[in-house]
Amino acid sequence: MTFRRDKKQFYEGLVLLLLFTVLSVLFIFIFGWELSGFAAVCAVLLVGYPRCFQQYITIDERGISCREKDRQLWAFEWHQIIDLKKYSRYRNPGIALVLTEEAERQRQDATATSFQLCKEARVALDRYYGEQWRKK
């Protein structure tokens, strides 16, 4: 099962930018063209925003991996993962991988081995890791 690494944060930001864009266009019609610069900035941010969130997590029978476009950032098999640690960042629940020492040495970059806990992540973890991750 594949999903965005920061799915909840992505959609919250997208809705906020869409709201700002719509409101700024409405204010142009109400107050005049003075706010056209703000509307243009909001529209540009709205178009470019999805490029900031292009990391995808895949959870399957082999393990957990993270890809960005066509480049694999990290991949760990289930035997390399000691534990799945729950955390909360900006009121969004997430999962951090606790890896074996060998897997930590294998990891070459400083990319975080964590992801937000969305509906797809819960289903995939239940299917491939079991129910024990929920009890922690």
Q: What is d(CA 128, CA 122) in angstroms, rounded to the nearest whole number?
A: 10
Shared domain for 112 and 64, answered yes or no, is yes
- Residue 130 CB-density burial (10 A; 0-12 exposed, 13-18 middle, 19+ buried): exposed
Cβ 67 vs Cβ 56: under 8 Å: yes
Which pLDDT score is estimated for 129?
Answer: 79
In total, how many domains does the chain have? 2
* Domain span at 41: 2-51
Shared domain for 70 and 103, answered yes or no, is yes
Q: What is d(CA 56, CA 75) in angstroms, rounded to the nearest whole number?
A: 12
pLDDT tens sequence across 42-64: 888 888 888 888 889 999 999 99
What tens-digit pLDDT sequence spans the chain (136 residues)? 888 888 888 888 899 999 988 888 888 888 888 778 888 888 888 888 888 888 899 999 999 998 988 888 888 899 998 888 888 877 788 888 888 888 887 776 656 788 888 888 888 888 887 766 666 5
